[in-house]
Amino acid sequence: MITVRVPAKVNVQLGVGGLRADGFHDLANVFFAVGLFDEVTATPGEGVTLSCTGPDAASVPLDDTNLAARAARLLAAHHGLGDPGVHLHIAKAIPVAGGMAGGSADGAAALVACDALWGLDTPFDTLLELAAELGSDVPFALLGGVALGRGRGEILDALPVAGTFHWVFAVADGGLSTPAVFRECDRLREEAGTGSSAADVPTPDADPALLAALASGDPVALAAALTNDLQAAALALRPSLADTLAAGTEAGAIGALVSGSGPTCAFLAKDADAATAIAAALTASGTCRAAHATHGPVRGAEVSAPRP
Ligand code: C5P
């Protein structure tokens, strides 16, 4: 039995370029891995089967569309294993369809878990390539830490970070569809008259002030530099998120933004005590389903239990 622990992410910068011919958007995407984890446990089985526990388990698909199942099949096919045998159990704490790459995290964890269970020793670079085939956010869940994602988010460069930042995540009732949020972003750009294609929108760049804030470990500077080009679209689709953002700011957060495509809202706190207080205030505010205080950056997907 192999258990892999894998973190959620927040995007401290999500710069969205124009719509490409392949249906994706070029990004300047600064991923930040935070201490909210799923655990994927692989045991020998027949075919690829899945189970899931956790507060959102009922909304996790247990068929071949699940990224964990797709990851197991992709790894087996890459190594020419005719008939992969594995049962994957997902202990889910990352919100589902929450803008924290929980499905991508499970895909990354399944790659690492199956690689260990089947004794394949796949080079890390190959795992990263397989991860990119599964989805734009899957490679980062393998890498962890903080990284700049270019292209559709899959071309990664690790970024230097000093110290630990303290975060609070306010989980909403229900999810948002990532493609729907990108479509809404395009629609808002068309409505504003700026155009939404790759020819209309300049390719975004990482913000030097944000990179400097990460490198120096300065939460106030990072808070000032937080940006998410998908935030207006997420708010248009879920206007109540404005109340969540306001509640966290009122409770003392030094920075607030929608996490990725939402609807989870992310709050930066000045220290661990402030994060605990903000989480309590958000829970009491009634503007979210739950609020969790945590920290980051943390490591990417890794085996957390030794082989028996
Ligand atoms: O790569 P992934 O499967 O996670 O992407 C889900 C969807 O999100 C894509 O089909 C696309 O609609 C949208 N997307 C995008 N540009 C990106 C990443 C995702 O438009 N860079």
Q: What is the mean predicted confidence (pLDDT) over 192-206?
A: 95
pLDDT at 305: 59
Contacts of 129 (CB under 8 A, 6+ apart): none
155 lines ligand 1 (CB under 6 A): no
Least Cα distance to 272 among 118, 163, 151 occurs for: 163
Q: What is the mean predicted confidence (pLDDT) over 142-162?
A: 97
The mean of the pLDDT values for the chain is 96
231-258 confidence digits (pLDDT tens):
999 999 999 999 999 999 999 999 999 9
261-276 confidence digits (pLDDT tens):
999 999 999 999 999 9
Within 13 Å and on the Cβ side, how many CA atoms surround 218? 12
Decide if pLDDT at 307 tops 60: no
91-148 confidence digits (pLDDT tens):
999 999 999 999 999 999 999 999 999 999 999 999 999 999 999 999 999 999 999 9
Q: Torsions phi, psi of 150, nearest 5?
A: -110, -175
In the three-class reduction of DSSP (H, G, I as helix; E, B as strand; rest coil), residue 44 is classed as: coil
78 lines ligand 1 (CB under 6 A): no
The structure tokens listed for 221 are 């500077």
Confidence of residue 83 (pLDDT cuts 50, 70, 90): confident
- Catalytic annotation, pick one of 56, 106, 115, 137: 137
- If one residue of 24, 26, 74, 185 were mutated to test the ligand 1 pocket, choosing by the most ligand atoms within 8 A of its CB, it would be 24
Confidence of residue 82 (pLDDT cuts 50, 70, 90): confident
- If one residue of 182, 183, 184 were mutated to test the ligand 1 pocket, choosing by the most ligand atoms within 8 A of its CB, it would be 182
195 lines ligand 1 (CB under 6 A): no
Rounded to whole angstroms, how far apart are CA atoms 25 and 22? 9
- Nearest alpha carbon, ligand 1 atom 14: 24
